[in-house]
Structure 1
């Protein structure tokens, strides 16, 4: 029998964001204090002293590190493949839970729903906590989940291919959702698990990495078309995706978007061999059933409690 096998594992990937990581670890300290919880932090080539900070202040955390960056998806794969826990809580370095009974709700939901492979958390995006946390939302099956706050049933993780590291950033959750669907697993949105993601979405367009984020977002969507969509739908989906970028961004003077479009297309061409190798298309009837599942619930906004 394995000694002190954890029930829960908290997985966090970080790179040069020590202040965010420090804040997050402080907020979830009450989880890390439990004997049935392990925490794995993967430092993806930081140069800001992240490893030193973890070793000094959190000696019980399992610290993994890359001497140079290998990407978010590589790190997530490594952590998920290493943990022996039953359930893996995946967080970025800038979200934390603001709901009570986190672990109890996770264990209870998986026990009551054996086909549930991933729990998608309710997520509030903003620099400050919401003025209230009340929600009328109910638990429901969804098509996807958000990377910054979700929980894996590790039996489901081991039943599907690992995240595609050649995506680099963006799209891995959608990749997993298709694979889970093919294997008969479900994704459930559980609003009782409430996460505060401390980011300012509106300011991202002005960030220096806007173009590379758009490029990666576009190409990951296109990868998914070629990997999973029935063949006859791909040209129309590709054409619509390109047209909307032109209409909403390029024709309005956003020439960073034009460059991102071109580079994303070259990425797809370059990765054709990987697309062919990993192709797992849904049949037409499968795709129709998949499309009937509600889309991922990404952004939650405060609601009136009365």
Structure 2
């Protein structure tokens, strides 16, 4: 009997989060029974035994390792370079599917939407599963996607530039989305597929790396401004970004944000040559079309309570 050629590859990058990885892989048990799925995990220099855990408990998973940590974006590029299937699903090591049998939904959507380069999933952020999973949301083309749960049409990925590794963290999804738009691919939000990202968003404000996260988030937003936004809009949007940090944080006593702003601005100056070398600025007409797309769907909740994204 001829073997079934895999259609999907599930990609996971991990670093020193073996506890989260154990849960994620345990939640993938149903998918392990599919002959049409390959699995590749990149261990980004973990020192907590992640490599040995994967190798012993899941020998069928292709495991690659960065001997020294190279960062999330480097690892994602490395994983995508190894994909041989038509589609690649990217999950964080602390994220898993809630939707049962998501693969047929994904396949059907790609089959009926040939211009779709990437599917963004509905994502619930929380340590506990949502009380209800139903939604009235509809499929729609959106501006960008969230890294913790999405799927690439590999033909689309290979038509654009790799994620910019010098971003380090934050902004690579928006970079890819602009690239897709410029190459006539769409990013589609498909709420039928629900992923739980087991993260506490509010608690992140108290994490020791909060300032570093804010710095990287700010600078990536500025990088994207200078790389893709029509030039006549850049000064206003750049000034607005700075003003909102003062309004929301500095004027409310978060004086540490002043240093964050200065460091982010320094990063902008240092990387200015790369912005012009790798940028693909949208024309005013392209920007008008892009601006009319629905905003990125970051958070989903079953209630009407709104989560505020504190990255920017």
Q: Structure 1 stretches (4+) deviating beyond 4 angstroms?
A: none
CA contact (8 A) 1:139 1:188 kept: yes
Q: Which residue of the partner structure matches residue 17 of structure 1? A: 17
Q: Which residue of the partner structure matches residue 256 of structure 1? A: 256
- Asked if 1:56 corresponds to 2:48, the answer is no
- Asked if 1:189 corresponds to 2:180, the answer is no
Q: Which residue of the partner structure matches residue 110 of structure 1? A: 110
Q: Which residue of the partner structure matches residue 207 of structure 1? A: 207
Q: Which residue of the partner structure matches residue 122 of structure 1? A: 122
Q: How far, CA to CA, are the matches of 2:57 and 2:288 in structure 1?
A: 51
Q: Which residue of the partner structure matches residue 167 of structure 1? A: 167
Q: How far, CA to CA, are the matches of 1:5 and 1:158 in structure 2?
A: 20
Deviation at 1:5, TM superposition (A): 4.3
Deviation at 1:101, TM superposition (A): 2.1
Deviation at 1:251, TM superposition (A): 1.6
SS of corresponding position for 1:70: coil
Q: Which residue of the partner structure matches residue 298 of structure 1? A: 298
Q: How far, CA to CA, are the matches of 2:112 and 2:231 in structure 1?
A: 37
Q: How far, CA to CA, are the matches of 2:260 and 2:303 in structure 1?
A: 36
Equivalent pairs, count? 303
- The two structures have a TM-score, normalised by structure 1, of 0.97
Q: What does residue range 29-108 of structure 1 map to in structure 2 within 5 Å?
A: 29-108=29-108
CA contact (8 A) 1:123 1:299 kept: yes
Deviation at 1:257, TM superposition (A): 1.6
Q: What does residue range 238-253 of structure 1 map to in structure 2 within 5 Å?
A: 238-253=238-253
SS of corresponding position for 1:19: helix
Deviation at 1:32, TM superposition (A): 2.2
Q: Specify every segment of 5 or more residues in structure 1 that has no aligned partner in the other structure, as ranges.
A: none
CA contact (8 A) 1:39 1:61 kept: yes
Greater shift after overlay, 25-34 or 130-139?
Answer: 25-34
CA RMSD of aligned residues (A): 1.3
Q: Deviations over 1:167-209 (max 9, x none)?
A: 0100011001101001110111111110011111011000001
- The two structures have a TM-score, normalised by structure 2, of 0.95
Q: Deviations over 1:156-175 (max 9, x none)?
A: 00111111010010001100
Q: Which residue of the partner structure matches residue 145 of structure 1? A: 145
Q: How far, CA to CA, are the matches of 1:66 and 1:272 in structure 2?
A: 29
Deviation at 1:33, TM superposition (A): 2.6
CA contact (8 A) 1:117 1:186 kept: yes
Q: How far, CA to CA, are the matches of 2:46 and 2:83 in structure 1?
A: 22
Q: How far, CA to CA, are the matches of 2:210 and 2:39 in structure 1?
A: 31
